[in-house]
Chain A
Amino acid sequence: GAVVSQHPSRVICKSGTSVKIECRSLDFQATTMFWYRQFPKQSLMLMATSNEGSKATYEQGVEKDKFLINHASLTLSTLTVTSAHPEDSSFYICSARAPLGLGETQYFGPGTRLLVL
């Protein structure tokens, strides 16, 4: 099956600092990765679509200068939350679109819990 990892699994930071979250597809190449955010008892909300070698596509209402996305290779996408504030505290989950042979659906990482103090 397709495995997606995320690092770190949990991070606590002070308000105003920047936090980088890594998303890796371990056993397949993903030209497209996605970043979601999930608040407690809420559904996953798509933040942006990350395409290898090109700029990310952000959903309406998501600040691209605050949530920097880099998809440097076919197995790695990073999300950097710049100048984090307490309202950015959430569960961030990435997914990678599997190739046709694996059903061309999305496989999710285990998530990163961010707490901004």
Chain B
Amino acid sequence: QKEVEQDPGPLSVPEGAIVSLNCTYSNSAFQYFMWYRQYSRKGPELLMYTYSSGNKEDGRFTAQVDKSSKYISLFIRDSQPSDSATYLCAMKSGTGGGADGLTFGKGTHLIIQP
């Protein structure tokens, strides 16, 4: 079993729809959870950063973490064609030291149809 599971898609939705992206993980030591957006042939761009369980909202984006289920989600409201990209979840167990490298999901390729 991989440490982080993420459906690669593609996920295709019409413009304006609410998008739900998800990851599951197996390592209960993970405490920090991130969502990155990556356009083709570009480096990942940080979208959301959360610590432990709970919700966090930033504009059209909402991140949810359920540590008891080892499940994290990213919701995108009022989706736009410019949101079309690959969305990567990432997580880490602690701050500093050797535990600082991120473990990534494979990424979900999202397509917003105009």
Residues of A within 8 A of B (CB): 4, 6, 32, 34, 41-46, 49, 57, 59, 91, 93, 95, 97, 103-111, 113
B101 touches A46 (CB 8 A): yes
What are 26 A-B contacts defined by CB distance under 8 Å? A6-B43, A32-B100, A34-B100, A34-B101, A34-B102, A41-B8, A42-B106, A43-B88, A43-B105, A43-B106, A44-B44, A44-B88, A44-B104, A46-B101, A46-B103, A49-B98, A49-B101, A91-B41, A93-B43, A108-B43, A108-B44, A108-B45, A110-B42, A110-B43, A111-B41, A111-B43
Q: How many angstroms between the C-alpha atoms of A39 and B41 in the bound complex?
A: 11
Q: Is the interface of A mostly helix, strand, loop or mixed?
A: strand
Contact of A107 among B46, B95, B105, B106 (CB under 8 A): B46
Could you tell me which residues of chain B, from 71 to 112, have a CB within 8 Å of some CB in chain A? Answer: 88, 95, 98, 100-107
Q: Which of B95, B101, B102 contacts A104 (CB 8 A)?
A: B95
Closest 7 pairs between A and B when the two form their complex, measured CB to CB: A108-B43, A46-B101, A110-B43, A43-B106, A43-B104, A111-B43, A108-B44
Within 8 A of A (CB), among B45-70: 45-46, 49
Contacts of B107 in A (CB 8 A): 43
Q: How far is the CB of A71 from chain B (nearest CB, A)?
A: 14
In the assembled complex, the CB of B27 is this many whole angstroms from the nearest CB of chain A, namely 14
- Residues of the A chain whose Cβ atoms lie less than 8 Å from the Cβ of B102: 34, 44, 46, 95, 106
**Closest CB of chain A to B19's CB: distance in Å?**
20
Q: Is the CB of B49 within 8 A of A105?
A: yes
Q: Known contacts being A49-B98, A103-B49, A105-B32, is A93 close to B104, with CB within 8 Å?
A: no
- A41: B residues at CB distance < 8 A: 8
Contacts of A59 in B (CB 8 A): 101
